[in-house]
Structure 1
């Protein structure tokens, strides 16, 4: 009888571990999808608002702030000195705060 209880407890622990790992994997996949969406918005933002943007290189690191925005950063035209940074706000579907080392287009 004791052997069956140990086996049952082991199966329950393994099942909970599997559910936890699946949850973590799904969470990371959702974050990566959100990051890709933010990169796409940032690319459109840069092309619409700044001159002479030929190449955009994104950093692979990102952070999600407590308000739900995600940071996107990188450099322009292969020049690591020409950096950009922006925070994508999913609720408004726009780049909110940004800092770009490039010349703005005239309106």
Structure 2
């Protein structure tokens, strides 16, 4: 009976030891993943900071009417499931109307894609391409209220 009791105690101690070891291993692995995520986020933020001048240069190249007075970047930088680093911002202190989003490619230090709000896209529109079709610009202007139309024409240098 003493042998069975000793054997049972050894089995219980072994099971508890293995359980403690497994729990500690899982906990350590999880902690390493959290640290790694923070490290990736920090890398993304550093990369985004490095790429901001390229984003500004891209926006200024698109700005044929010299509409841009200020460019503001939002603080949040995200990493997409595909690995792109995404930076958001806005123009001329109007986050509602003139916002943009840049998807950056980490490995090649390039802007993968850039999207703009419709209002900002129209500030970049080159109407000289439509000289033979002036009704296209007129149709766009007709969609705007009088106040918006005046502001738009001022923004693109037509007033």
Regarding TM over 0.5, the answer is: yes
SS for the counterpart of 1:79 is: coil
Q: Structure 1-normalised TM-score? A: 0.62
C-alpha RMSD over aligned residues: 3.4
Following the alignment from structure 2 to structure 1, what is the Cα–Cα distance between the partners of residues 33 and 103? 30
Contact 2:105 2:111 (8 Å CA) reproduced? yes
Match of 1:56 in 2: 71
Mean CA deviation greater in 16-25 or 83-92: 83-92
* Structure 2 residues without counterparts, runs of 5 or longer: 1-9, 129-159
Larger radius of gyration: 2
- Report the counterpart of residue 99 of structure 2 in structure 1: 83
Query: CA 1:92–1:24 in 2, change beyond 3 Å: closer, same or farther?
Result: closer
| CA offset digits 1:14-68 (Å, max 9, x no partner) | 32232222222222222323333443321221123311322112233545263x4
Conserved? CA contact 2:87–2:101, under 8 Å: yes
Alpha-carbon distance change, 62 to 15 in structure 1, aligned in 2, over 3 angstroms: closer
Give the secondary structure class of the aligned counterpart of 1:98. Answer: strand
Higher helix share: 2
How many residues in Structure 1 have an aligned counterpart in Structure 2? 105
Measured after TM superposition, the shift of residue 78 of structure 1 is 1.2
Is the strand fraction higher in 1 or 2?
A: 1
Runs (4 or more) in structure 1 with deviation over 6 Å come to none
Kept in 1, the 8 Å contact 2:45–2:77? The answer is: no
* Pair 1:94-2:111 in alignment: yes
Query: TM (normalized to structure 2)?
Result: 0.47
Q: Which runs of 5+ in 1 are unaligned?
A: none
Distance 2:111 2:88 in 1: 15
Q: Greater relative contact order (Cα 8 A, min sep 6): structure 1 or 2? A: 1
